[in-house]
Chain A
C-alpha cells in the first residue's frame, strides 16, 4: 500500500510519527514552506496558486473518494464538491493546522455527507461496484476447479475470494463514519489521532469506531473459521 503524502502530513501534524513515516515527513517539510506561500497566494486570489495546490493533493482526494464511494461518478462529485468548498472557504484558513489536515477535513466531511445521503435513500442509488465482484463473473463448478496460477492451492484461492467477498459485504453495512475510519486507517494508512483531527473528533472516538468496524467484519467471517 503506498504511503500517501497525507499520511505523512497528518502524522506530522499529530506529533506521533514513527519510523519511516517520520523520516519521510522530515524530508517533505521543505516543500511545506512553499506550500504556505502557495496557500497565501491562493488566498489573495491567485488562481494559478490554487490550481497548484489542487494538483498536489487531488490524486489522493480522488483515491479516497473512489475507495469510499465505490462509484466513479460519486467520486467525481465528491472531488468537485470538496475542492469548490476549499476554494470558497480558503480565506477562512488561518494556518492553525497544516493545509493537508484542513483539506482532508473537508474531503472526509463531503464523503460522509454523500455516504449518509446514500444510506438514507438507498432506492435512489446505483449498486456499488466492487472490484473483486466484477472479476467474479459467472461461477460454476468449473470456475472453482480452474487454476490460473498452478503454484497456488485452488482451495485457498477459493476461500480467499470468499473472504474478500464477505469483507466487501460487511463494509457495505458499516456506518458512514465507521467506513471512513476503516478506509483511512487501513487504506490511507493514517494514525488514529490524525483521523480524529480530520473528522474533528477525539482519538478515543475514532478508536471505538475502528473497533466496531473490525468486529462487524470478524462476525461476517466467523462462519469461515
Chain B
C-alpha cells in the first residue's frame, strides 16, 4: 500500500493549507487535504482565511509598478552598466612607483609655498653647489662656455642639394646659393663653417657636381688652404678629379703649401702619373718653385721598390743629384720626364727645371 502519511488530523492538515493555496503540494497530498476539508468545518474556515490572505497579498501594490512604469530607471541602469563595462574593458594604466609622490601632493596643495621653496632651492644650488662642482675647463673660474649655433646644413641636405651660385667678393667674403628642400643662401660671414663644409663636399664629390661648380669651389677655398680639412679636400681634388682644369686649379690653390710633405707627395704623384701634360707641367713648376724658394724639404715617404728600380737604373745617365734623398727622388722623376714623357713640352720643361735646380745648387 502507499507509504504516504495520511493527513487525517487537523493539526497535520493546518500547516499544509498555506501550500495548498499556493499550489505547492503533490497530487497525493492535495487529494488527502481535499478529503479532510470535506468533513472538517474548522479546517475549511482556516482555508478561507488563507485564501483571503493570499488575495490580499496578490492585491498588494508593487514597488516595481510604481517606480518603473516609465522605464526611465531601467534606461538609467543600462547606461550605468555600460559605463562600468567600458571601464572594465579598457586597459588599465599601470601605476608604477612614483618617487617623491608625497612631495608632489604637498606642492599641489600649496602652490605659493611650492614656488617659494623652488626659488630657494634654485638659489642654494646656484650659489653653493657650483663651488663644489668643477665647471667648464675645470679651473673653477666659471669660464664661459662657447655656444655655437646649430649648423644649418645637415648630411641629408648635403646629399640632396644643388649649388646654384657661388659669389666670391673681392673682400674675401663668399656667398653660396643652394637648392635643397628649401632654397637657402649661406654667407661666409655668418655661416663660415657651413660654407666651408659645402665647398669641400662639392670638390670631394666630383661625380655629383658640374666641373664649373667644382672650379669655383676650388677657387673659393684657395684662401683657406691652410685649414687641414680644406687642404685635404684640395689634395683629393688634385689627385682624383676627372677634370684636368679642376686638378690644375687645386694644385694652384696649394701653391703656397708645396713645402709640406703631403702636398709634395701629391705633386710627385701628379708628376709621374697625371694623364694631362698641363697638370704635369704645373706640378713641375710648383716643385721647382718650392726648391728655389728655399723651402726645407722634409723627409718624404719612401717610394715603393718597384718605382724605385727604374729610377735607380736611370741614375748613371742623369745629372748628379745634389741634396738629400727626397730631393733626389724629385730630380729622378724630373729626369724621367725629360727623357720619356710623351709630351714634348713636358720633356722640355723638365729639362729646364733640372737646369734651374742645378744652377741653384751651384750657387
Secondary structure type dominating chain B contacts: helix
Q: Cα distance A70–B63 when bound, in Å?
A: 6
Stretch with Cβ within 8 A of A (4 or more), from B15-23, B174-182, B187-195, B201-209: B15-23
A79 touches B81 (CB 8 A): yes
Given contacts A67-B64, A131-B62, is CB(A47)–CB(B81) below 8 Å?
no
Q: B49: which A residues are within 8 A, CB to CB?
A: 218, 225
Contacts of A72 in B (CB 8 A): 67, 73
Given A58-B74, A191-B24, A207:B88 Cβ within 8 A:
no
A106 within 8 A of B: no
**A62 touching B77 by the CB < 8 A rule?**
yes
Question: In the complex, A214 Cα to B22 Cα: how many Å?
Answer: 11
Contact check, B53 vs A76: say whether CB atoms are below 8 A apart.
no
Known: A58-B78, A191-B24, A211-B15. A67 touches B84 (CB 8 A): no
A62→B64 contact, CB < 8 A = yes
Q: From B24, B59, B77, give the contact of A160 (CB < 8 A).
A: B59
Given A67-B62, A192-B24, 14 extra CB contacts under 8 A = A62-B68, A62-B77, A64-B64, A66-B62, A66-B63, A75-B67, A84-B88, A132-B61, A160-B56, A167-B56, A186-B57, A211-B18, A214-B53, A221-B56
Within 8 A of A (CB), among B70-89: 73-74, 76-78, 80-82, 84-85, 88-89
Instruction: Write 29 A-B pairs (CB below 8 A) sorted by A numbering.
Output: A47-B85, A51-B85, A55-B78, A62-B73, A63-B62, A63-B68, A66-B68, A67-B64, A69-B63, A76-B73, A79-B77, A80-B80, A131-B66, A132-B61, A164-B59, A164-B60, A164-B61, A167-B57, A167-B60, A185-B22, A186-B22, A210-B19, A211-B15, A211-B18, A211-B19, A214-B18, A217-B53, A218-B49, A218-B53
The interface size of chain A toward B, counting residues with CB under 8 Å, comes to 48
Determine the residue in chain B with the shortest Cβ distance to A185: B22
Q: In the complex, A102→B62 CA distance in Å?
A: 25
> Which of A66, A76, A130 gathers the greatest number of chain B CB atoms within 10 Å?
A66
Contact with B along A120-157 (1 / 0, CB 8 A): 00000000011110110000000000000000000000
Instruction: Give the residue name and chain of the A residue nearest to B16 (CB).
Output: A211
The answer to whether A76 and B80 touch across the interface, beta carbons within 8 angstroms, is yes
Query: Does chain A have a CB within 8 A of B58?
Result: yes
Interface residues of B in 27-54 (CB under 8 A from A): 49, 53
A163 within 8 A of B: yes
Asked whether A187 is an interface residue with its Cβ less than 8 Å from the other chain, the reply is: yes
Per-residue B-contact encoding for A172-204, CB less than 8 Å = 1, 0 else: 000000000000011100011000000000000
In whole angstroms, how far apart are the Cα atoms of A134 and B57 in the complex? Answer: 18
Could you tell me the distance in whole angstroms from the C-beta of A11 to the nearest C-beta in chain B? 12
